[in-house]
Amino acid sequence: MPEASLSRRRLLAGAAALPLFGILTRRASAAEFVYKLATGQDPNHPVNIRAQQAIERIREASGGRLEIRLFPANQLGADTDLLAQVRSGAVEFLNLSSSVLATFLPVASLPNVGFVFKDYDSVWAAMDGPLGTYVRAEIGRTPIITVSKAWDNGFRHVTSSTREIRSYDDIRGFKIRVPQAPMQTSLFRALDAGATPINFNELYSALQTRVVEGQENPLPILATTRLYEVQKTCSLTGHIWDAYWILGNKRAWARLPEDLRAIVSRELDRSAEDERADIVALNANLRTTLAGKGLRFIDPDRDSFREALARASFYRDWKAKLGDAAWSRLEEFAGQLA
C-alpha cells in the first residue's frame, strides 16, 4: 500500500479547505447542484479513492447537473464537528463511522458491539440484510439519512507501545485511546482498561508523548497515518467491526430530483462494493507490510475478552440501552449474547 507523502498535520495545514481530488472539468455554475462530501480519511485511503470515482461517475451520468466536491482528511472539521454540519445542512454528504454516529444516535452502534462478528461473511449477511436495514431506518428518523449501503471501516485491533496484549489479563490497567464513541469507551472500561477518549487528529502526538500507551483501529488506518512509528505491537483482537455510512442531510437530499438521487445511490453503492474489496485486499497485505516497518503482530485469545465482557455485564447493559427489538436483530447473526 503506498504511504502518504504528507503527514496528517502537514496535510491539514496546507489543504486550506480545498478538495484534494481531481480538477473539476466543468465550471461550478454549469451545475444545477453543487454539494460537498466530507470525510475524515487521508486522501490515499480507499474511502476517498472510491468516493472520488463515484463522484466522477455521478457527474457523467447526471450530464453535469450534479457536482460533488470531495473534502478529505477532516478539512472541514473533526468528525464530531462534521456530524453537526451534516445535520444542519452546512455539509450535504458525510462519510462517518457508525461508532462516531452513535454519539448522536445510540442505535447506530449496534454493529459495533464487541466480539460479535468473527468474519466478513457474517458482517455482510447482517449489514446487507435485516440488521443493516434496521439501522438505516433508525438513522432515517433523524435529520440525516443513509444514501448508500454500508462501506467497510474494518475490524479494529489493539496496538501498544509498552505491554503485549495477549489476553484479558494483559489489558487490565492499559492506557488506551478510544474515539469519542460510547461503545469503545464502555467496552474497554468493562475490560478494566484505562479508556481515554481523544480526537483522531490528536492521536499520533498522544501516542508519541505517551499520554496513552496504545490505541485501537483497523490496519489501513495504522498504515495511512503511520501509527506504526509510535507503536511496537499489534494484537489482532478484531474486537469491533465498524461501518462507514455515507450520510446525507435530509433537506439537501430532498432538493435533488428523483433521478439524481437514484444516480447518487447507485454509484455510491458500486463504490461501496469496490471499497469493501479494497479493504480485504489491504488487510491481506498489510500484516507483512507493517511487520516490515517494525510492528510485531500477536494473535490473542479472543475468547478471554468475550468472557470478561459477559462477566462485567457489558452485553446485558447494551441490550438494555439499545432495546429488545434492536438486540434481537443482532443476535440473529451473533448468537445469544445476553
**SS3 for 255?**
helix
Please give the pLDDT value at position 20: 46
DSSP 192: T
C-alpha 212/C-alpha 206 separation (Å) is: 6
pLDDT 10s digits, 301-333: 999 999 999 999 999 999 999 999 999 999 998
State pTM to two decimals.
0.82
Burial of 16 (0-12, 13-18, 19+ CB in 10 A): exposed
- The grid coordinates of residue 263 equal 444516480
pLDDT 10s digits, 70-79: 999 999 999 9
Q: How confident is the model at residue 335 (pLDDT cuts 50, 70, 90)?
A: confident
Residue 272 has phi, psi (to 5 degrees) of: -60, -45
DSSP 209: T
Q: How confident is the model at residue 29 (pLDDT cuts 50, 70, 90)?
A: low
